[in-house]
Amino acid sequence: MIAEIYESFAERWPEPPIGALWHQLATEEIGHGMLLDNAARFPAANRDDPGLDAAKLTALRDAVAARFLSPEASLDDAFAAALDLEQLELDNVYRRLLALTGDDSRMSTAFRSTLGEVSGHESRLLLAIEKHAKDPKLVERAARDRRRMLQHGAA
């Protein structure tokens, strides 16, 4: 779903370097999806969240698409949405899966690598925001997030 969103951003803002950034992020998200598909094949205790069923996942997908694919969205809105998606992905997907797959060294290694990629996505987005965003609040958010990443050695 995130890859689809980034591809739609690439279609709306195709000029370099922004279009290339969206395409690159979309391609990497497809790889993340394959990793998640592989993770689903490995048994792990407590992996399934009983609060999520197919209907809730469909509703979540629709809500995300409605928010992030709005035709009225500006480039700054797209940057902010992408930051939100990357942080959501880091906090709620990969860190949780890394914890759940700690007993499987192959999956643990794969998720550690993906955590680094997602952090790289965030870092590239922050740089693009600092160079191309017009919204002062978004630029300040990017600067604050960049300082946080530097403090934690992730940038």
Percentages helix, strand, coil for the chain, rounded to the nearest 5? 75, 0, 25
pLDDT band at 155 (very low <50, low <70, confident <90, very high): very low
Which CATH number covers residue 19? Answer: 1.20.1260.10
- Considering only residues 135 and 71, tell me which one the structure prediction assigns the higher pLDDT: 135
Burial class (CB in 10 A: 0-12, 13-18, 19+), 58: exposed
Q: What is the domain range of residue 120? A: 2-43+50-151
At 139, the pLDDT band (50, 70, 90 cuts) reads very high
pLDDT in tens, 8-59: 999 999 999 999 999 999 998 888 777 767 666 666 555 555 555 677 767 7
Would the pLDDT of 61 be above 80?
no
Number of domains in the chain: 1
Q: What is the pTM of this model?
A: 0.75
Q: Give the other-Cβ count within 10 Å of 36's Cβ.
A: 14
To the nearest 10°, report the CA torsion of 125, 92, 72, 20.
Answer: 30
What letter does residue 135 receive in the DSSP assignment? -
CA distance linking residue 74 with residue 71, whole number of Å: 8
- Between CA 34 and CA 55 the distance in angstroms is 22
